[in-house]
Amino acid sequence: MQAADLSFHRSFLKTMFMGLKLGVSSKKMSYQERKRVIKLSANIAMAVAGNGMNWSRALIIRHAKHEKNKVLLRSLLGRKRYESITEPGFPLNFTWQRMIMKRRFRRTNSILRRGAHASNGATARVIARSMAKKRTRTLKSLVPGGESLDDFSLLGETIDYVISLQTQVNLMRLLTEVLSVSNLRKKELDKASREVKC
Amino acid sequence: MSSRRSRITEDEINELISKLQSLLPEARRRSAGRASAAKLLKETCNYIKSLHREVDDLSDRLSGLMATMDTNSAEAEIVRSLLQS
């Protein structure tokens, strides 16, 4: 596995905290609504940290489609970025793929850079041999933006997306643990202060 | 129209595939096996789904933990600074 990418972690936490701060108001919120905001913050945080990848943009666009997400999204991305990403007609195809592959070198294999050129006939045959059509269909539905990708790009995107998901899970686990400890400590403090009063 | 020199070789695809395999947790890696790329893709799909479920579950737990928390409180600040480095 690749070495931990600290800038990804930092970016994720920054956006996540922003989302929690802006989106969660525990007084008025229902459990489900709070959960929805937490999950949205986590996904946007992951997408922002994964900036440059096709899945990152596709994920943001997916969430931007829902009316109730728009306010938080605009705050988390900043208006300029929000508008440029959600602008229709932005190329979400091979040309874009080639552009971002060049920038994402540090997190993906170097052969992806070369690979992001036109798939010729020989390449298609090689790929078809290795990747079953049925399986890639499922994978395409699981990786955000996967539908529009050729098999080779899909592989690279999947690798990056899986690494990002793993980091998202790890950081959310960390957050859960820290809050559990602080909750527990708070309960003990409350209990102790009540006992003193008796 | 195939060009004389294939830009993406089978070796390169295998390299990507083995990299993907290295990302799967131990248990899934074993069931994916060495040879079949199709099996690997299936395990990858299952793994992605389980990661999605875990994110949902963690969101659930966080919602519970944040039920009584005032995000502007000192508590939040401590958490924030702890994780900022």
User: Model ipTM?
Assistant: 0.79
B54 has a chain A CB within 8 A of its CB: yes
If one counts every other C-beta atom within 10 angstroms of the C-beta of residue B63, the result is 22
Q: Chain B window 12-31: which residues touch A at a Cβ cutoff of 8 Å?
A: 12-17, 19-20, 22-23
Closest Cα in chain B to A123:
B8
Would the CB atoms of A111 and B42 count as touching at under 8 Å? no
Q: What is the C-alpha separation between B48 and B43, in angstroms, rounded? A: 9
Q: What is the reported pTM?
A: 0.79
A176 has a chain B CB within 8 A of its CB: yes
Using an 8 Å Cβ cutoff, are A19 and A37 in contact?
A: yes
pLDDT in tens, B56-83: 999 999 999 888 776 656 556 666 666 6
Write out the H or E segment, with its range, that includes residue B32: helix B26-32
pLDDT in tens, A70-105: 999 999 999 888 988 888 765 554 444 555 554 444
Closest CA to A108 of B48, B16, B23: B16
Q: What is the count of residue pairs from A and B with beta carbons less than 8 Å apart?
A: 172
pLDDT in tens, A125-160: 555 666 677 778 999 999 999 999 988 899 999 999
pLDDT in tens, A30-74: 999 999 999 999 999 999 999 889 999 999 999 999 999 999 999
A155 has a chain B CB within 8 A of its CB: yes
